[in-house]
Structure 1
Amino acid sequence: MNAPLAPSQRFRNPAPKPADGIAKTLGIIWNVLLNKPKTTVPAAPVPVERLTRADLEAAPDRSLFRLGHSTMLIKLRGDFWITDPVFAKRASPVQWMGPKRFHAPPIALQDLPPLRGVLLSHDHYDHLDRTTILHLARTTDLFLTPLGVGDRLIAWGVEASKVRQFDWWEGTTIDGIQFTATPAQHFSGRGMFDGNKTLWASWVIVDDALRLFFSGDTGYFDGFKEIGERFGPFDVTLLETGAYDPQWPYVHMQPEHTVQAHEDLRGRWLLPIHNGTFDLAMHPWQDPFERVLALTRDRNIPLATPRMGERVDLKAPRSSTRWWREVETAIDVDRITALTAE
């Protein structure tokens, strides 16, 4: 088993996490709860290209639609696959508090076409939403998950025959498309007592000559090089770039790490994900886009930053508009109204 279980039957990363200490942990919690700057949330609505089921059904094969955060809808061989689907208003165990979406999904959950499969990276709330999963289970054929995450789905009521679970470096071929669960450096758990009882993973998708990498959540580690050696080069890497902080580099990558991971993977086009939807860190909300843009320019790496809902042609991606700058320069009507009233 490449992701070993500790004696307590909990998964762990091959490289141990540095000890933070109670003081640092409490300091992080204090800052996240009480000292967040206003810039972590957009000052105006995030632009979204609305989608209909007809739009999706008419889209050519090898189309990708970013629906928000790490939720990608991918059309391959006439069928749809979705990664880490979260349609909830908040990335939280309850919907009356917790990180709230900056934007509505480009398409309503009930308007999605039937899915061939759901691809899950781990069980954190911003990647695995119970309500979304149970809705999708009605019209979805398969759920591909890391070890233990599938057991959680089955406990929720998803048919066991639809669930397939994998350790690192394990996978399956469906309709001629190869899916392989690959290592990531992260953690798991949805409560106080279930930490690391399920596995976390990244995913490699191979459709004939097309090769995609989906990172899920991860810190930077030497596993990217091994994945690149085994499966690269990749046409597009969907790499986490957001919810980072110098205080937790082990489990989330700084933009510099994202770009290095892309190079380790031997990627061509980089499409940064895990940003633009939820307020999960201390950095300005647009920081991931600006920093990755500057870094990729310096290294001549093709960068795709689609609007939410915008179609990406995986056969021939293109550079996107800097849509987040439109948000930053937009007039914040609510704020102006409040100032006028004072």
Structure 2
Amino acid sequence: MAANRYYQGPVSDHFDGTRFFNPGGAEPRGFSDLLRWRLGGGGSRAVWPRRVESPFPQAVPEARVADLRVTMVGHATLLVQAGGLNILTDPVWSERVSPVSFAGPRRVVEPGIAFDRLPPIDLVLLSHDHYDHLDTETLGRLRARHDPLVVTPLGNDRIVAEAAPGLRIATGDWGDRIEVPGAVVHVEPAHHWSARGLRDRRMALWAAFAVETRAGRIYHVGDTGFHGGTNYRAAAAKHGGFRLAILPIGAYAPRWFMAAQHQGPEEAVEGMLLADARHAVGHHWSTFQLTDEPIDEPGRLLAGALAARGLGRDRFRPMLPGETWDVPEA
């Protein structure tokens, strides 16, 4: 068995001494299934436009916000301004999400905030090491401009430190509590996996975050399979509900390949309710084509899932780049 290049630590209920895993969950599908999908065995792949203009102009955020405001940058990158604290989730400003700059999924819509228009960034929540979440170029730019603290699960600190020397990093295991100026960050389970290449699968941990701020509790999930709602129930039981949940709604097709690792809009609505979140933001859609669904389908399916449960559309908003939302009080 290959040695873990990112993390060495004791065996736990989600670490076997070399690789991390989802307790009672499913491993990511292997290379043969990947070939079956990409060679046409999993259904038809929608054709996305090469470029899309967001209906919202690029936002120019205020330096600080006293209450709770969310601005969509794109995909899983959001600016969360909460009680005077400025947080970025999984920051990606690069044109592609790929190990190389000349190939791989390409951005179809400009970032909703120009990088140079960002307010002072205090905290970065980095959920895992996939290229659409951990963008080393952007992290280097943030280090030079803002010097934020990056909170990330085990093993990712090694990747970040090598790519952006000098960046401040706090690392946690599932269940850990990390105090930061103006907030407390809890590192919580998600049902996913990790890899930067062919030989480091599941060698760095993946996570969700529960953040206690002066503006209320926020639950950020970068990527997850629904996993029977287990992690949503646990988050509600531990933290007592949330003012806002930031939940993925895209990259779910075909279901035979993606179901264990990427939830769909209907599952996201169920997750919001199980987590006892008063409001939710839908992300992980409409920016990079990673999977087979049409570019606008996650938003349409989310609207249908809310209507089926008698919930208003303002309860769970599928945000687009440049869109800003002042989240109502709980």
Larger Rg: 1
CA distance, structure 2, for counterparts of residue 131 and residue 32 of structure 1: 35
Is 1:296 equivalent to 2:302 in the alignment? no
Structure 1 residues 51, 117: closer, same or farther in 2, change over 3 A?
same
Is 1:311 equivalent to 2:315 in the alignment? no
- Percent of aligned positions that are identical: 29
Task: Find the residue that maps to 1:154 and give its secondary structure.
Answer: helix
CA drift of 1:106 comes to: 2.2
Is 1:80 equivalent to 2:86 in the alignment? yes
Could you say which residue in structure 2 is the equivalent of 1:323? none
4+ residue runs over 4 A deviation: 18-23, 32-35
In the alignment, structure 1 segments of 5+ residues that lack a partner are 318-342
CA drift of 1:296 comes to: 0.9
- Residue pair 1:3, 1:167 contacting (<8 A) in 2 also: no
CA distance, structure 2, for counterparts of residue 134 and residue 3 of structure 1: 34
Please list, as runs of the form range in 1=range in 2, the aligned pairs for 1:256-335 lying within 5 A after superposition: 256-301=266-311, 302-316=315-329
CA distance, structure 1, for counterparts of residue 169 and residue 309 of structure 2: 41
CA distance, structure 1, for counterparts of residue 261 and residue 72 of structure 2: 23
Please list, as runs of the form range in 1=range in 2, the aligned pairs for 1:213-224 lying within 5 A after superposition: 213-221=219-227, 222-224=230-232
The code of the aligned residue for 1:312 comes to W
CA distance, structure 1, for counterparts of residue 27 and residue 119 of structure 2: 44
- Residue pair 1:182, 1:203 contacting (<8 A) in 2 also: yes
CA distance, structure 1, for counterparts of residue 289 and residue 15 of structure 2: 32
- Residue pair 2:112, 2:321 contacting (<8 A) in 1 also: yes
Could you say which residue in structure 2 is the equivalent of 1:239? 247
Could you say which residue in structure 1 is the equivalent of 2:135? 129
Structure 1 residues 283, 164: closer, same or farther in 2, change over 3 A?
same
- Residue pair 2:211, 2:218 contacting (<8 A) in 1 also: yes
CA distance, structure 1, for counterparts of residue 44 and residue 292 of structure 2: 9
The code of the aligned residue for 1:142 comes to L
Task: Find the residue that maps to 2:317 and give its secondary structure.
Answer: coil
Structure 1 residues 64, 259: closer, same or farther in 2, change over 3 A?
same
CA distance, structure 2, for counterparts of residue 206 and residue 18 of structure 1: 31
Could you say which residue in structure 1 is the equivalent of 2:4? none
- Residue pair 1:114, 1:140 contacting (<8 A) in 2 also: no
CA RMSD of aligned residues (A): 2.4
Structure 1 residues 166, 22: closer, same or farther in 2, change over 3 A?
closer
CA drift of 1:70 comes to: 0.7
Please list, as runs of the form range in 1=range in 2, the aligned pairs for 1:157-168 lying within 5 A after superposition: 157-159=164-166, 162-168=168-174
Could you say which residue in structure 2 is the equivalent of 1:227? 235
Please list, as runs of the form range in 1=range in 2, the aligned pairs for 1:1-342 lying within 5 A after superposition: 4-7=14-17, 9-17=18-26, 23-31=32-40, 36-38=45-47, 40-41=48-49, 44-52=52-60, 55-57=61-63, 59-138=65-144, 139-159=146-166, 162-208=168-214, 210-221=216-227, 222-245=230-253, 246-247=255-256, 248-301=258-311, 302-316=315-329
CA distance, structure 2, for counterparts of residue 125 and residue 192 of structure 1: 13
Task: Find the residue that maps to 1:115 and give its secondary structure.
Answer: coil
CA drift of 1:100 comes to: 1.1
Aligned residues: 312
TM (norm. structure 1) is 0.84
Task: Find the residue that maps to 1:56 and give its secondary structure.
Answer: coil
CA distance, structure 2, for counterparts of residue 92 and residue 152 of structure 1: 15
Higher mean C-alpha displacement, 94-103 vs 297-306:
297-306
- Structure having the larger proportion of residues in helix: 1
- Residue pair 1:49, 1:307 contacting (<8 A) in 2 also: no
Deviation track 1:47-88 (CA, whole Å, cap 9, x = no partner) reads 232123xx4226554211111111111123323110000001
- Residue pair 1:48, 1:103 contacting (<8 A) in 2 also: no
